[in-house]
Structure 1
Amino acid sequence: MRKSKLIELNNVGIVVENIDNAIKFFQEIGLELEGRMMVEGEWAGRVTGLGNQSVEVAMLVTPDRHGRIELSRFVSPEPVSDHRTAPVNSLGYLRVMFRVDNLDELLNRLTKHGAEIVGEVVNYGNIYKLCYIRGVEGLLIGLAEQLDTKTVTNILKNNK
């Protein structure tokens, strides 16, 4: 039997309470709304293990069309736990990181939408300027502006 090969990271799923606010927030970062629909019925519950479910889903895509975020608002069954304000050292999936071209300008826009910087903006070895923010609904988002492309390329080549 032929061994399966990874093709791509298709998307990262995030469950939210207010899908409209979440869409606006991720659009402000620079993602584009690719589609929005209801996913309902027993067939969907067979995939998730939740049984008969009703979920509003919005798919957002990065400008390069390679990365996606799938926002889900569960109508039924209702969410059973909330990890949105967990600290960065919590177990499980925690944050999404985006590379941006002007971190300071983006932070100015996002704070107007209620985002708060966690800690501070730091310079990582003159390679990245980066920070974590608490965005819409307290979601943890990483933002990084690449400062030195040559150093990053050399590090990646040397670690192969």
Structure 2
Amino acid sequence: MVIRGTAGHVVDDAQRVDSVRTLREFPEVGLNVIEAAHPGPHVTQDQNLERGPMTFIRRFDHVGITVADLDAATAFFVSLGLEADRKMAVEGAFLDTVIGMTDARTEIVMLRPPGGGTTLELSSFTRPDHLPGSPAAPANELGIRNVAFEVHDLRAAVDHAAVNGYGLVGGIGEYEGAWRMAYVRGPEGIIVSLAERIEK
């Protein structure tokens, strides 16, 4: 695998990867590099059974969305308040193996809410060409339909998105006096669910 950052740093899978250095220089993808270079111990089936159900997952790490215009999609989510890491390019044997393609190359940006937490990964492929998605997909189309965020002021967030050309899918709904929620049709048809807790 070859990973290139905007500052020109390169990590190649022919090298021995130092965990601390990799996480410091490539925090967005360092974990993947480390796991590829230092595979964990073999776990037997009996050991898996002892863990019990749903104990393989340690935490919810990120959600990935593939887009054609990485800069425009990044700008949209940054305008809502997410914080973006620097753009990274990923290519090589590791990427090809994981995604099941040959000679692939993608650029990614990781975005996180203020204070940390689950991240959003935006990815745009330079190789191979993108396949068309469903930019006008309705809420009942099969597949991942929305990415959701809690906001401070729903009306202000909706108005801000509208000024930038991103309108509502439907309207602003209220659930049992506890939440207000709206779907915004973001860049490339991504449905972004915005929700505001109603203070009592």
Judge conservation of contact 2:137–2:189 (CA < 8 Å) in 1.
Answer: no
Deviation digits for residues 18-65 of structure 1, max 9, x if unmatched?
111111100111110023210112321100112220101000011131
Larger Rg: 2
Name the structure 2 match of 1:131. 182
Consecutive unaligned residues of structure 2, counting only runs of 5 or more, are 1-46
Q: Which residue type is aligned with residue 137 of structure 1?
A: E
Q: Report deviation, 1:94.
A: 1.4
- Give the conservation status (yes or no) of the 8 Å contact 1:13–1:69: yes
Output the CA distance in 2 between the equivalents of 1:18 and 1:126: 38
Alpha-carbon RMSD across the aligned residues, in angstroms, is 1.4
Match of 1:72 among 123, 144, 157: 123
User: What TM-score results when the alignment is normalised by the length of structure 2?
Assistant: 0.70
How many pairs align? Answer: 149
Once the two structures are superposed, residues 46-99 of structure 1 have per-residue CA deviations (whole angstroms, 9 ceiling, x without a partner) of 001122201010000111311111000111111223133211101111110111
- 3-state SS in 2 of match to 1:120: coil
What does 1:10-159 align with in structure 2 at a 5 Å threshold? 10-148=61-199
Greater RCO, 1 or 2 (C-alpha within 8 Å, sep 6+):
1
Paired letter, 1:28 = S
Distance 1:72 1:52 in 2: 16
Indicate the larger mover: 66-75 or 78-87. 78-87
* Matching residue's letter, 2:146: R
Report Cα offsets for 1:117-147 as digits up to 9, x if no partner.
0111111111111010101122111010011
Q: Tell me the amino acid that sits aligned with residue 195 of structure 2.
A: A
**TM-score, structure 1 normalization:** 0.87
Distance in 2, matches of 1:122 and 1:94, equals 18
Identical-residue share of aligned pairs (%): 32
Greater share of strand residues, 1 or 2?
Answer: 1
Q: Structure 1: where are the runs of 5+ without partners?
A: 150-160
Kept in 2, the 8 Å contact 1:126–1:148? The answer is no
